Amino acid sequence: MAMARTTTLLLIVAAALLAASCGAWEMNIGMPGTVAAVDDAVVAPLIHALRPLLGSGSHAGMACDSWRLGVEAYNVRDWKTVPASCEGYVGHYMVGDHYRRDSKVVVDQAIAYVDSLKLAGNGKEVWVFDVDETTLSNLPYYAKHGFGATPFNVTRFNAYAQEGSAPALPETKRLYNKLLSVGIKPVILTGRAEYLRASTATNLRRQGYSGWMNLLLKAPGFKGSSVAFKSGEKQKLQDAGYIIVGNIGDQWSDIIGAPDGARTFKLPDPMYYIG
């Protein structure tokens, strides 16, 4: 029982530290070519707060590595929670530099793709972004809820989302700013409920996301899957004459389902699954 209380206390303290460490994380990690050289002790105190608890060693077994690979490759589907034996592994992955490196690889490829485009420059080229674990990080929430190893509580999560306190994902901001600089309009498409519009918009702006063309949320009473919702919204964009040149999200349901866009990019997320 004492160990359990200690574990809970450490997670709560670490979650509180995340917001404080976010600015330094963004300042260093968000700049191209600096990931390998970053001093974690300066950049993210959160990592050092959690590493003694989560570690790698015995927590990072091959089974958890293989499970995460299956999730990212879309071979493991329809799962509800992170396997209990992998909670420590997933936590270590998310707060350590591995997650940031993986995200950087994705965004580097996205930016290289943007640089290869021959843009019409007619204001009709758009790029679709998800919110949770794409533009914004919910690690302050998931660090207190088992990094996805405990069942998802929509009421509790929506209360957190209404606070509008989620930090930005620096690599995604790098892509977002690149698109604005070349004239591609960001469209933010999220499965969050419509009543979270004000808090979501405020959160995004506080974290440096501005200038989007649309912020699209799920209308009250919508009963379909995430794929159906996002496909429908993307079809409306296409029907209005827009060209979806790119699409990025952390869930497969963000990027599959026609029209999916000329090129899709999948960010890592082993904490939860949305079908």
User: 208-234: per-residue pLDDT in tens?
Assistant: 999 999 999 999 999 999 999 999 999
> What's the average model confidence in pLDDT over 135-158?
96
> What's the average model confidence in pLDDT over 26-32?
36
pLDDT at 43 over 80: no
- Specify the pLDDT at position 7: 47
- For residue 155, the domain's CATH number is 3.40.50.1000
- The span from the CA of 63 to the CA of 85, in Å, is 9
> What's the average model confidence in pLDDT over 55-59?
40
pLDDT at 133 over 70: yes
- Specify the pLDDT at position 46: 46
pLDDT at 111 over 90: yes
Whole-angstrom Cα Rg for the chain: 18
Neighbouring CB atoms inside 10 A of 96's CB total 17
Say how far residue 218 (Cα) sits from the centre of its chain.
Answer: 18
Q: Which domain holds residue 88?
A: 2-266
Selection from 86, 18, 101, 78 nearest residue 56 by Cα: 86
How does the average pLDDT of the chain come out, rounded? Answer: 85
pLDDT at 246 over 70: yes
Band (pLDDT 50/70/90 cuts) for residue 169 is: very high
pLDDT at 30 over 90: no
Percent of the chain with pLDDT over 70: 77
- Specify the pLDDT at position 26: 40
pLDDT at 37 over 90: no
The answer, as to whether pTM is greater than 0.85, is no
Q: Is residue 107 part of a domain?
A: yes
Q: Is residue 272 part of a domain?
A: no
E strand segments, 27-153:
125-129
pLDDT at 72 over 90: yes
- Specify the pLDDT at position 32: 35
Q: Is residue 275 part of a domain?
A: no
Domain count, the chain: 1
- Sort 95 into a burial class: Cβ within 10 Å, 0-12 / 13-18 / 19+: buried
Say how far residue 159 (Cα) sits from the centre of its chain.
Answer: 18
Q: Is residue 250 part of a domain?
A: yes
- Specify the pLDDT at position 34: 36
- Specify the pLDDT at position 168: 97
Exposure string (b/e) for 28-66, b if CB count within 10 Å is 16 or more? bbbeeeebeebebeebbbbbebbbebbeeeebbeeebee
- Token pair belonging to 19: 């917001």
- The span from the CA of 166 to the CA of 140, in Å, is 7
- Specify the pLDDT at position 24: 37
> What's the average model confidence in pLDDT over 120-144?
97
Band (pLDDT 50/70/90 cuts) for residue 25 is: very low
- The span from the CA of 164 to the CA of 155, in Å, is 15
pLDDT at 14 over 90: no
Q: Is residue 271 part of a domain?
A: no
Q: Is residue 274 part of a domain?
A: no
E strand segments, 163-267:
185-193, 214-218, 243-249, 264-266
User: 247-272: per-residue pLDDT in tens?
Assistant: 999 999 999 999 999 999 999 999 99
- Specify the pLDDT at position 6: 45
Q: Is residue 155 part of a domain?
A: yes
